[in-house]
Amino acid sequence: MQPQFIIAAPHSGAGKTTVTLALLRALQRRGLKAQPFKCGPDYLDPKHHTLAAARPSINLDRYMMSDAHVRRLYAYYSEDADVSITEGVMGLFDGARKMEGSSASLAAFLKIPVILVVNARAMAYSAAALLYGYKNFFPEITIAGVIFNFVNTPSHYRILEEAAADAGIPALGYLPEQKHLHIPSRHLGLHISSETDYNHIIDAAADHLEKHIQLEQLLQLTSREKPPAPAADNTPAGPLRIAVAQDEAFNFIYRENINALSRLGTVTYFSPLTTRQLPPADLLYFPGGYPELHLEALAANTPLLTALRQYQGKILAECGGMMYLGNSITDESGQTYPMAGLLPVSTSMQQKKLSLGYRQVHINDVLLKGHEFHYSQYTASPGLTSPHIRVLNARHEPVSSPVFHTGNILASYLHFYFGEDVEGMGRVMGF
């Protein structure tokens, strides 16, 4: 038996991430192996989970992944853990289409209970109606308990505790608001200036949680039978040399993408900020990140830009990586910096506009899935996008997300997920 559960909420902004990080760190400090997961395509929360738990956090996404792949990942990474904690996405029932890919969908599929985090700052006994609705709306899930967030007095909590009891959901405690636990937001998600500062915040959040939450009761209520361990994959690695850009400018990477690439060959890393020459490689992988925050350093590394222009192998570039391969990037102030010039594309952080959503990309007979999340805008030479490529959203409607497939390069605003089907990506890339 193993405690395992999803941290969910009625809506975004209720405090799921802070509660998840605090739980992971509190359990880790007790000597328990707490395995983090993230429901959905987010690539930032898993970075935070990994720091809090000292174990890699894994995305579980029922839109980008098959059910068999989700089940295997959950079983594999939970196998040697004492506790498995999955952070939900948006509101409990919010998915790509209705509940598709939602936290509730994942909880029902994996048969694990839900711990609901409710922002009760401006709520009293009305919490009973909210909790009753969430408990009964979708009978295939079990809400094992509720944590009330932003509750500052014991008398307020007593009202909420009574509301939870009348709705038939155990109240596991409350968290008074602590402004010093707030994690600053950047345009692509939660951000903190340094790992040291972040560790202090996580430790403080864990201290705060242990004072107010009935942690032992939570673990007892969520104990379930462990999923059976999957069979080991003993496939020998292939011969490819793969170099992955990874530094402060490029670090939005799905862990399973790297594991998949390692089945094709040897994976090494380099930094477009500091590496002066490209490592020997048959494939260069530029994931997304924050190149717009490091434009001066990227533009100043002319030896690497020159080496890129002379490179003859394959290149896969996603979002920030695509921006880096273009002619230039313009920052918010209007200053333009030259980039690699491998694509006749220019991007700008001025007049920012959010582009967000799941995408499926049809390239000849191959289907690639991914997620788009960016604020920059682009201009490209007419006819650069390939006519044989179709891009659809989760509702199977055509969208104008650019996908550039030119010679040895596949570049897009999408963050592709190919942890399950690296062979499909290989067919598209020609390796």
pLDDT at 334: 94
For residue 273, pLDDT over 50 is answered with yes
278 shares a domain with 218: no
Range of the domain at 65: 2-224
The residue among 163, 193, 224 that closes a domain is 224
Residue 53, in any domain of the structure: yes
Average pLDDT over residues 227-242: 85
For residue 372, pLDDT over 60 is answered with yes
**Which residue of the set 205, 242, 319, 345 is catalytic?**
319
At 23, the pLDDT band (50, 70, 90 cuts) reads very high
278 shares a domain with 160: no
297 shares a domain with 191: no
For residue 185, pLDDT over 60 is answered with no
Residue 72, in any domain of the structure: yes
Q: Alpha helix (H) ranges present in 242-362?
A: 255-262, 295-300, 302-310, 320-325
245 shares a domain with 185: no
The 3-state secondary structure of 170-229 reads CEEEEECCCHHHCCCEECCEECCCCHHHHHHHHHHHHHHHHHHECHHHHHHHCEECCCCC
pTM here is 0.93
Residue 231, in any domain of the structure: no
Return the minimum-mean-pLDDT range out of 177-191, 292-306, 351-365: 177-191
Residue 340, in any domain of the structure: yes
262 shares a domain with 163: no
319 shares a domain with 422: yes
Burial of 192 per CB tally in 10 Å (0-12, 13-18, 19+): middle
Helix (H) or strand (E) holding 135: helix 127-137
Residue 230, in any domain of the structure: no
Q: Which two tokens stand for residue 423?
A: 């062979």
167 shares a domain with 107: yes
Burial of 295 per CB tally in 10 Å (0-12, 13-18, 19+): buried
246 shares a domain with 200: no
Residue 82, in any domain of the structure: yes
Q: Check which CATH number belongs to the domain holding 306 and give it.
A: 3.40.50.880
- Full DSSP string of 148-169: EES---HHHHHHHHHHHHHHT-
pLDDT at 419: 96
The 3-state secondary structure of 46-65 reads HHHHHHHHCCCCEEECCCCC
Query: What are the pLDDT digits (tens) for 236-268?
Result: 888 999 999 999 999 999 999 999 999 999 999
324 shares a domain with 219: no
349 shares a domain with 412: yes
Contacts of 161 (CB under 8 A, 6+ apart): 171
255 shares a domain with 219: no
Domain tally for the chain?
Answer: 2
Average pLDDT over residues 139-154: 96
In angstroms, rounded to a whole number, what is the distance separating the alpha carbons of residues 280 and 295? Answer: 25
Q: Which two tokens stand for residue 48?
A: 């935070």
In angstroms, rounded to a whole number, what is the distance separating the alpha carbons of residues 405 and 414? Answer: 13
In angstroms, rounded to a whole number, what is the distance separating the alpha carbons of residues 428 and 388? Answer: 12
Arithmetic mean of pLDDT over the chain: 92
Contacts of 300 (CB under 8 A, 6+ apart): none
205 shares a domain with 98: yes
Helix (H) or strand (E) holding 129: helix 127-137
Question: Is 39 among the catalytic positions?
Answer: no
The residue among 224, 258, 287 that closes a domain is 224
Residue 229, in any domain of the structure: no
For residue 400, pLDDT over 90 is answered with no
At 386, the pLDDT band (50, 70, 90 cuts) reads low
Residue 233, in any domain of the structure: no
The residue among 198, 224, 250 that closes a domain is 224
At 190, the pLDDT band (50, 70, 90 cuts) reads very low
Q: Check which CATH number belongs to the domain holding 82 and give it.
A: 3.40.50.300
